[in-house]
Structure 1
């Protein structure tokens, strides 16, 4: 029956994938998870009406239950959890670690993942077993599984369906203990979180308590992800850096925070890029950037060489947002980033900050020149 379920899901995929949204005949105000659930339900039901599948029954069990749908025949039940991304991603937050819906009555649970591709106004679909798609634990206010069907990303949190099903049957304290042990062993100082046994509320770790090497890696990634926000300037020639996205990134990706995040980038007044007291002197964020230049280069070069699939997916999501002014050129993350830094540095407001020190109207490439080995 497993192979029949896979066939059914692939038949549904064929009916959805690559089709313009207007052909589905389903009204929607936004392209969200609820909309894609309706699309799946409509086309799965149509597949089950075919002769070879008409003994299968689709059940809608959405709401407070996991998974969203079940498909059953002769007492055997398989689950289908619907996931979607309106931004073209293949990695999203999954279900709560502490969600306690029984899984003992399922033979297995599949993920039916639709990723909306705006340029062609249609979904691309990928299907896999849910336990195979669990790649990590992410914490905002409470722990959640992170789900990915990106083939470049390693997903080995659970070794089998039985391991996943066994975990689901554990009580709250047992789950907490297992996850504490996993993160302590596997994360080596990043993505760490702490949950007192017996409580579901997680407390983020202070950024300052991370190893210095990890702090620098995180700051380097922040400069890569959010250069426009970090180097934001006023028309009067003062820096006006915005760290809201930085703070959100720290919480969502590492579950750490700092009550003085701005100081990690810009404390200390104006400084020389080589020696603090040697002119020309720029706002301290320039010096912090320069000190991390080699590390920033190494991260970007690693992406060009196929490393860090997780960070690559996040980076492309942020860079390619509709309101983003930075774009990947399709060839090199290093050159794409340097090009953006040059454009940013020579934009009117930031250019004014620099010109006040250089007294020169020619274009500069101060920031991009620090991105090297």
Structure 2
């Protein structure tokens, strides 16, 4: 993220955001949209004559909507979120705020709440359970994607240096999942007898 107009330009910006109280978070988001967007945002007051609509906390949404959001983010930002190391949430959180006007006090907890998940008696990071649990949602998006989702996903997949055919959105995504599996979970996959990470979608 090297664009100075991005909501969380520096990692420190995201860390600071997390430490704000709810009212400060709302003011931060409103200020960003007023100063950095030219498109009309119905939820941002254009003057002081009426109150702006407040962004919505993700955990206040129905489980169905939360799962849909998680599925989209796991599809668009797989390398940020699916890792054996510390996940990077800045881009995903910015996407949710910018596109849906939702936010979270703890994006990590929104995804995994930490912990482990046992698969074939081998402990995997909890994010692997999240993917497995949402596999039908993710596959539905992959098999019936909007043009916007495809364009956004391919744009964000550029950093992985994989050559993608762009003939099959599904196959390209599974290739990225397998790339992530080899990079971060090869030992765990071997111990569990799972050939490749994309097998969790079966």
Same fold (TM over 0.5): yes
The 2-side partners of 1:258 and 1:313 are apart by: 25
The Cα shift of 1:280 comes to: 2.3
Alignment pair present for 1:287 and 2:129: yes
Name the residue aligned to 1:350.
185
Structure 1 residues 218 and 369: CA distance shift in structure 2, 3 A: same
Higher helix share: 2
Counterpart secondary structure, 1:272? strand
Given that residues 229 and 242 in structure 1 are in contact (C-alpha distance below 8 angstroms), is that contact kept between their aligned partners in structure 2? yes
Alignment pair present for 1:365 and 2:196: yes
**What is the CA deviation profile of residues 165-201 of structure 1, one whole-angstrom value per residue up to 9, with x for unaligned ones?**
xxxxxxxxxxx9xx4xxxxxxxxxxxxx475972475
Name the residue aligned to 1:203.
54
1:111-122 correspondence runs (5 A)? none
Match of 2:173 among 337, 340, 343: 337
1:218-233 correspondence runs (5 A)? 218-233=69-84
The Cα shift of 1:207 comes to: 0.9
Counterpart secondary structure, 1:281? strand
1:146-185 correspondence runs (5 A)? 179=42
Alignment pair present for 1:297 and 2:128: no
The 2-side partners of 1:265 and 1:246 are apart by: 11
The 2-side partners of 1:369 and 1:219 are apart by: 19
Q: Which is bigger in relative contact order (C-alpha 8 A, separation at least 6)?
A: 2
Match of 1:145 among 39, 43, 59: 39
Counterpart secondary structure, 1:229? helix
Aligned residues: 169
Gaps of 5+ in 1: 1-138, 147-175, 180-192, 234-238
**What is the CA deviation profile of residues 315-346 of structure 1, one whole-angstrom value per residue up to 9, with x for unaligned ones?**
222223xx344554121011111111112101
Given that residues 329 and 336 in structure 1 are in contact (C-alpha distance below 8 angstroms), is that contact kept between their aligned partners in structure 2? yes
Higher strand share: 1
**What is the CA deviation profile of residues 15-58 of structure 1, one whole-angstrom value per residue up to 9, with x for unaligned ones?**
xxxxxxxxxxxxxxxxxxxxxxxxxxxxxxxxxxxxxxxxxxxx
The 2-side partners of 1:212 and 1:358 are apart by: 33
Given that residues 280 and 358 in structure 1 are in contact (C-alpha distance below 8 angstroms), is that contact kept between their aligned partners in structure 2? yes
The Cα shift of 1:359 comes to: 7.0
The Cα shift of 1:222 comes to: 0.7
The Cα shift of 1:369 comes to: 1.7
Given that residues 77 and 153 in structure 2 are in contact (C-alpha distance below 8 angstroms), is that contact kept between their aligned partners in structure 1? no
The Cα shift of 1:209 comes to: 1.7
Structure 1 segments of 4 or more deviating over 6 A?
none
Structure 1 residues 202 and 325: CA distance shift in structure 2, 3 A: farther
Q: TM-score, normalised by structure 1?
A: 0.40
Given that residues 345 and 364 in structure 1 are in contact (C-alpha distance below 8 angstroms), is that contact kept between their aligned partners in structure 2? no
The Cα shift of 1:144 comes to: 4.6
Given that residues 346 and 364 in structure 1 are in contact (C-alpha distance below 8 angstroms), is that contact kept between their aligned partners in structure 2? no
Q: TM-score, normalised by structure 2?
A: 0.71
The Cα shift of 1:216 comes to: 0.7
Given that residues 141 and 202 in structure 1 are in contact (C-alpha distance below 8 angstroms), is that contact kept between their aligned partners in structure 2? no
Structure 1 residues 350 and 198: CA distance shift in structure 2, 3 A: farther
